[in-house]
Amino acid sequence: MALPQMPVYCRPQAFGLFAQSVAALATDRKALLRASVAIAQHELPEADPQRVEEVLDEWAAIIRARTASGQERALLAHLHEFLFEELGLAGNVDDYYNPLNSYIPAVLELRKGIPISLAMIYCEVGRRVGLLTEGINSPGHFLAQIEAAGDRMLVDVFARGRILTPQQAVKRIDQAVGIVIPSSENMFVPADGKQWLARMLQNLMHIFTERGQDSDQAAMGEMLALVA
């Protein structure tokens, strides 16, 4: 496989890790998380994918240790209690458009983020404790989906893990985008790896454009070209 052309705007370290991770999305389940850390490395060169893995592993170990029965419903309850009540993982409603809200290492540290970054952390920890999790590429407001004891539930991680019915999720999306979006069966389709990354990058491109950070916006565009 030919190596991508070196970037003009993106930090080479970040671009290189991102390119390698995108190429491995189909065969390596850890590639999506590495790619998301690579996005952060453009502004946070010290961001370490291995350390991110370790933090998520540590959180999952705490949850498993508290779940004596190992039953999925109990795992789900302890997952929510630990992430949202103890750690305080939640949406950053006061500074929503801060780029740090999109960077997984920063969100792990600050416990604040936007829907898609929070959903990634939620899904990664949920998977580590043995629950089936997926990101839901819903318009305007990224959600998570988790399965426990045969039930699939939509989760608004931005709202501290609120469980939503499909009807409630549609209303939540309408609130987020400020308009009524016609509901359809495609509204809650799970995101594949490239969709996760494209949406993260598009969010950052919008933020950097609004902040007048043209070179950073272009850097995200260089990464986006690898998944487009």
What's the mean pLDDT in 97-108?
A: 98
3-state secondary structure of 28: coil
Name the residue type at position 63: I
Tell me if 180 sits within 8 A of 144, measured CB to CB.
Answer: no
Domain locations along the chain: 50-210
Listing DSSP states for 56-74 in one string gives HHHHHHHHHHH-SS--HHH
Least confident of 92-106, 181-195, 200-214: 181-195
What pLDDT is recorded for position 4?
A: 62
Q: What is the Cα–Cα distance from 175 to 169, expressed in whole angstroms?
A: 10
pTM exceeds 0.85 for this model: yes
Q: Which tens digit of pLDDT belongs to each residue from 45-73?
A: 999 999 999 999 999 999 999 999 989 99
What's the mean pLDDT in 211-218?
A: 98
Tell me if 204 sits within 8 A of 40, measured CB to CB.
Answer: no
**Residue 1 pLDDT more than 60?**
no
pLDDT band at 185 (very low <50, low <70, confident <90, very high): low
- Report in angstroms the alpha-carbon separations of 184 from 107, 118, 131, 194: 31, 24, 27, 22
Q: What are phi and psi of 25, to 5 degrees?
A: -55, -35
**Residue 181 pLDDT more than 90?**
no
CATH of 50-210, one of 1.20.120, 1.10.3470, 3.10.620, 1.10.10: 3.10.620
DSSP 100: G
pLDDT band at 187 (very low <50, low <70, confident <90, very high): confident
* Contact residues for 25 (Cβ-Cβ < 8 A; gap 6+): 31, 32, 35, 192, 193, 194
